[in-house]
Structure 1
Amino acid sequence: MISAIDLTHDAGQSGRAEPLHRRHDRAADQRLAELEAHAIFVIREVAAECERPVLLFSGGKDSVVMLHLARLAFEPGVIPFPVMHVDTGHNFPEVIEFRDALVAEFGVRLVVAGVQDAIDQGRVPDPGPTGSRNRLQTEPLLHEINRSSFDAAFGGARRDEDKARAKERVLSFRDAFGQWDPKNQRPELWRLYNARVRPGEHLRAFPLSDWTELDIWRYIAVNDVDLPAMYYSHRREVVERDGMLLATGPFTPPAAGELAFEETVRYRTVGDMTCTGAVRSPATDAWGVLAEIEQSRITERGATRADDRFSEAAMEDRKREGYF
């Protein structure tokens, strides 16, 4: 379990500690500028080459940054493609509220692919009222891509998240069944991208591929990007389960023998309530989170996503099936 960490340098002779995140870092600023420019280039390139792109948007920090970059890419015009949320129906309510407010502010069309609809139509099995629906998102995603004839989907995946993510190209090609073959991808020498797809195929575009969690939070802090409040320190009733702090709620009631208690936490990633854990943290703003991330040695998915703990290849198995 991750707990609060010491966020300061050695106090030295002055007796006053200097927070890590307050350091002036010209190299980091230059890196952010380069990452931003490349991400905007990828977004524009895919929008120009593909007929019906869509941006996958969960309301989480990575997709929020990606939507922010998409707006920058087309200013002063509007974002020329819709955003799609694959809704498990077990999301944190504050994330759904934030999602709706942000897409309204940006003036983009929201497409919702619901796991509940897939269950009702018999396309996926019902895991029960408290079962995780996170692993059921693939079918609704592919169903909506096919139904709407999307030929490209922007995703917020980063290579530092998982070993399977590290294999991804910036443009990741999916066959007519939506499946990913890591051995059958196109070279991207000198950042030259080939976005051509055959009818029925599509590509996933990852503008944030080269970003790290630290880059994301530095960008959020520097640019004052709004996020759901749950990304920052707050009091929440939780239970401790399998080394994770899970919020109690209608989909995550305490199991037999578990004791619910209040804790000061924040979230490093956002997903299905049944498999997304919180971490103890006093960080109340992006700079405070950035200071914690600078000393973290475990990715946010490894620390707080139960669905990635099924096996070492859990993410790759799902990606081969068509997952994000």
Structure 2
Amino acid sequence: MRTELAEHRLDHLDDLEAESIHIFREVAGEFERPVLLFSGGKDSVVMLHLAVKAFAPAPVPFALLHVDTGHNFEEVLRYRDETVERLGLRLVVASVQDYIDDGRLSERPDGTRNPLQTVPLLDAITEGRFDAVFGGGRRDEEKARAKERVFSLRDAFGAWDPRRQRPELWELYNGRHAPGEHVRVFPLSNWTELDVWRYIAREQIELPSLYYAHTREVFRRDGMWLTAGEWGGPRPGEVVETRTVRYRTVGDMSCTGAVESEARTVEAVILEVAGSRLTERGATRADDRLSEAAMEDRKKEGYF
């Protein structure tokens, strides 16, 4: 009897998968118009994979939403569109470039568009009447995200107030919200970067190629290797070099740095991540270095 129980005991990844699937089903049963934020980055890819599992053999019962900064990596946009077509999903795109073109937003002096995503995101949520928005944030990424609950209440302006966070004992989630408010939902909240990569390996999930080591022209700025582009890099004195790199996280090209790496397979990436002492955002995201509270300040304005 004990042997049979041992054979059927769930491992760590099984536990995480079961929790995430439970969250997806809770939201589908409790909310009227959920939507899943999907950029083509690894966390959103894993989140979508879990959503497909949660509702199989039925289709995923909600749309995908991407806030396109206009400075995205082409490999990621191509992957995004191929995935949407393969799964037969509906994609809503909120374009930062549209807001710049009509004057609702202005370019920043540093060329970074990540902080400009908040207004298009909130407008898309309002226009789509989405009452629950799935995001791929994890508590291990950054200290402001470590404060977040799985169900994160946002007010009528999309703002996050840590004082309004609700207890989530025994995996009981409170989705109550007033008209005009919505809830951000984080199915990967308890996962780590290493968990995500181990799950990608186990499930044989395909990712955009830039997550693995490749040759790319980059330049050095603020301790990071950035890709040249129309966003304003490199500046005078910044030398473009050819390096073998990969990306640990994916965002706006102007603030997402690559790391030098020879990890060309998922197994090699797992070994590399396991030996790292820097979080992926801390190592490769310039927008999180603006201040000690950069992420928390943006979340209070409505950012994820």
Q: If the length of structure 1 is used for normalisation, what is the TM-score?
A: 0.90
Q: Distance in 1 between matches of 2:28 and 2:176?
A: 12
Partner of 2:33: 52
What letter corresponds to residue 271 of structure 1 in structure 2?
A: G
What letter corresponds to residue 91 of structure 2 in structure 1?
A: L
SS of residue paired to 2:133: strand
Task: Please tell me whether the aligned partners of residues 233 and 254 of structure 2 are also in contact (alpha carbons under 8 angstroms).
Answer: no
Q: Distance in 2 between matches of 1:92 and 1:126?
A: 19
Partner of 1:32: 13
Q: Distance in 2 between matches of 1:184 and 1:50?
A: 19
Partner of 2:142: 162
Q: Give 5+ residue unaligned stretches, structure 1.
A: 1-25
Partner of 1:89: 70
Partner of 1:269: 249
Q: 1:222 aligns with which of 196, 202, 208?
A: 202
Task: List per-residue Cα deviations over 1:127-150 (Å, max 9, x = no partner).
Answer: 36x711110000000000001100
Matched, 1:248 2:228: yes
Task: Please tell me whether the aligned partners of residues 233 and 281 of structure 1 are also in contact (alpha carbons under 8 angstroms).
Answer: yes
Shift >6 Å, 4+ stretches? none
Q: Distance in 2 between matches of 1:254 and 1:313?
A: 27
Q: Distance in 1 between matches of 2:57 and 2:232?
A: 44
Q: Distance in 2 between matches of 1:234 and 1:250?
A: 21
Matched, 1:310 2:281: no
Q: 2:89 aligns with which of 104, 108, 113?
A: 108
Matched, 1:188 2:184: no
Shift of 1:251: 2.3
Shift of 1:214: 0.4
Q: 1:291 aligns with which of 248, 263, 271?
A: 271
Q: 1:174 aligns with which of 148, 151, 154?
A: 154
Task: Please tell me whether the aligned partners of residues 49 and 196 of structure 1 are also in contact (alpha carbons under 8 angstroms).
Answer: no
Q: Which has the higher contact order (CA 8 A, sep 6+)?
A: 1
Task: Please tell me whether the aligned partners of residues 50 and 152 of structure 1 are also in contact (alpha carbons under 8 angstroms).
Answer: yes
Shift of 1:228: 0.3
Q: Distance in 2 between matches of 1:266 and 1:44?
A: 34
Q: 2:239 aligns with which of 236, 259, 267?
A: 259
What letter corresponds to residue 238 of structure 1 in structure 2?
A: V
Shift of 1:252: 4.3
Task: Please tell me whether the aligned partners of residues 218 and 242 of structure 2 are also in contact (alpha carbons under 8 angstroms).
Answer: yes
Q: 2:98 aligns with which of 117, 121, 126?
A: 117
Task: Please tell me whether the aligned partners of residues 235 and 262 of structure 1 are also in contact (alpha carbons under 8 angstroms).
Answer: yes
SS of residue paired to 1:264: strand
Shift of 1:120: 2.4
Partner of 2:4: none
Q: CA RMSD in A?
A: 1.4
SS of residue paired to 1:89: coil
Q: Give 5+ residue unaligned stretches, structure 2.
A: 1-6
SS of residue paired to 1:312: coil
**Aligned residue-pair number:** 297
Shift of 1:101: 0.2
Q: Distance in 2 between matches of 1:122 and 1:257?
A: 32
Task: Please tell me whether the aligned partners of residues 64 and 227 of structure 1 are also in contact (alpha carbons under 8 angstroms).
Answer: yes
Q: Distance in 1 between matches of 2:294 and 2:172?
A: 30
Partner of 1:136: 116
Shift of 1:187: 1.1
Q: If the length of structure 2 is used for normalisation, what is the TM-score?
A: 0.95
SS of residue paired to 1:183: helix
Q: Distance in 2 between matches of 1:174 and 1:250?
A: 34
Partner of 1:17: none
Distance 1:86-1:172 versus aligned 2 partners, 3 A rule:
same
Partner of 2:42: 61
Shift of 1:249: 2.3
Partner of 2:303: 323
What letter corresponds to residue 89 of structure 2 in structure 1?
A: V
What letter corresponds to residue 86 of structure 1 in structure 2?
A: V
What letter corresponds to residue 154 of structure 1 in structure 2?
A: F
